Amino acid sequence: MGSNASLADRRAAIEDEVQYIDIREHTHHIISLELRLIANEFGDVEANRAIRDYGLDELGWKEK
């Protein structure tokens, strides 16, 4: 995804990867990257919302 990805695109990328946590090798990295991009492009509030919405807080990700 390029820098023109919408918030919905970034969230969809996370949603697509969540099911593969601990299955695919790079899933954690992809999710972390998407969260960083959301924070940079749309703010920490949106990144924190994604963490909560996808249950990532229960899987080790922390809100800012």
Instruction: Give the structural domain span for 23.
Output: 7-59
Q: Is the pLDDT of residue 2 over 90?
A: no
- Residue 44: CB partners within 8 Å, gap ≥ 6? 63, 64
pLDDT tens string 10-63? 999 999 999 999 999 999 999 999 999 999 999 999 999 999 999 999 999 999
Residue 2, in any domain of the structure: no
The residues near 64 (Cβ < 8 Å, ≥ 6 apart) are 39, 44, 47, 48
Residue 40 within a domain: yes
Judge whether 64 lies within some domain. no
Residue 38, domain member (yes or no): yes
Report how many domains make up the chain. Answer: 1
Quote the pLDDT of residue 4: 81
Q: Is the pLDDT of residue 1 over 90?
A: no
